[in-house]
Amino acid sequence: MTGPAAHDFSPWTFPGAASPAERRRQGAHLDELRTAHPGWSLGDGVFVSEHAGVDADDLTLGDRSYIATGAYLTGSLRIGADCSINPYTVVRGDVHLGDAVRVGAHTSIIGFNHSFEPGVEVFRQPLTSRGVRIGSDVWIGSHVVVLDGVSVGDHAVLAAGAVVTKDVPAGAIVGGNPARLLRWRVQPASAAPSLHDDLRRFADTARADLPAILAASATDDGFRDRAGAASSLRALCDAVELSDLLTAEPPPGGSRDEWVERIAGQQRPHTGLMTDAASLWDDPEAAYGVLSAGYALDLLGAGFRHPFVDVADDAAAVVARLDDLPWTDDPWRAGHHVDAFGTALRWSRRRGDPVAPGTAEALFGWLALRADPGTGMWGSARPDEGLRLVVNGFYRASRGTLAQFGVAPAHPEAVIDTVLRHARDDRWMRPDRRDACTVLDIAHPLWLTRQTGYRRAEVRELAGELLRHALTGWREGAGAAFRLDADDPGLQGTEMWLTIVWHLADLLEASDALGFRPRGVHRPEPAPL
């Protein structure tokens, strides 16, 4: 498209591309507007399409601002410098825009409302107006609706299609219907530096203390979780996780190859498990071995040496296994086995082992179709437990399946509703009763569903409160205990609380201050093939 029509639809092209004739025509049109509306103020370098419906009672249009074709403007309007009112945008009522506000096509900014009391047709009732106030450097996408009474702070972004019914803070990015906070373009000055500084100090302390933590846990044949405990495979794998997380190196006391041999050498060739159990579906310890050993080997640049017998099950057998898990009585245990099976399936695909056709589809199809639409999870609440085991079971089942394969939950908003409801249960979530498991059960599902933006303000508020508490639990030179107020810090508690801190900080867009990102069992990205 060339000529005057191109400038009507794309007014930003006018200053650099308009011909002398086009400039004379636009100048004449602006002169006509000034003459017809002596109270209007049209700044230098403005553009107003001849095909825009500008019928304002009062109009201020700042320097270099433009109004494109098809736009419809009425009421008392004050538009700052360098603003754009794009094609087919509607701006009506008492509306003020700051400088550098860019408004996408087909957006409506409505600074008035109808009364709608019963008994009289709406069109016969009086209009009310509180006005719309939009700050400077605001980007408003296409097809946005901003309703009367709304104020939008400087530097905000209103995502395409948003229906904005409440005030938007400065620097916020909002979207959805009704619009909710998605994240921050500019973090509020009152909160960001303090939180980032606290996270940096926490991470620096953890790195400085790691050698002492590992030394206190080292044994002649590996690592123990804490003082008085026996050496274990899980403790060794936690040491690998922690050392990789904070130093990107294997733990002291052995070379990378030596630690690989120590872990991989425990795998049973005939089952692929790290214990003598016949199946990971039957033995919780066997399931833990698949989880902890697999990710530790991955961090060491290695992998399992033998295939898993359990992934040889065909689709029907997988469905039968899932049906037989104790979802009603013990959703945690059920989720634990799903976590391990999904992880075994991931490592099997990495190794290139044969997997029965339809196995993955059976697993993920069962999880999608059997999720309760009311809770987004599997299993049932119990009077003596509330939602604790249901939420824990969801975290466990989704961690090794949905999270590691990049599959979205079937009912993400219901998941958020359930987690937020559980977070109010003081039987488990009162600060003096929290442990690493109960908090990770909340942090991970909220992180997994964060892209919905659903109940975002409440999620952020909860994440901030849990994060502040988590940062208080570090013991100098010793790490963190599984339960923050306990006196037995160890490798498991330290690994889990560092993971919790990262996920909560990321929900608050502040995880970059930590300088680390989980790469093992709690990695936020799908595990690579």
CB-based contact 8:69 (threshold 8 Å): yes
Q: 402-406, long-range: CB within 8 Å, 24+ apart, which pairs?
A: 402/364, 402/367, 402/448, 403/444, 403/448, 403/524, 403/526, 404/342, 404/343, 404/346, 404/523, 404/526, 404/527, 405/342, 405/346, 405/360, 405/364, 405/526, 405/527, 406/525, 406/526
Single out the catalytic residue among 96, 336, 337, 411.
96
The residue type of 181 is: L
| Three-state helix/strand/coil letters over 203-247 | HHHHHHHHHHHHHHHEECCEEECCCCCCECHHHHHHHHHHHHHHH
CB-based contact 87:105 (threshold 8 Å): yes
E-assigned strands of 301-375? none
96 among known catalytic residues: yes
Eight-state DSSP code of residue 40: -
Which has the closest alpha carbon to 292: 328, 254, 262? 262
The b/e string for 142-154 (b: 16+ C-beta within 10 A; e otherwise) is: bbbbbbbbbbbbb
> Does 489 sit behind a cis peptide bond, omega within 30 degrees of 0 on the bond before it?
no
Pairwise CA distance, residues 524 & 520, whole Å: 9
Residues taking part in catalysis: 96
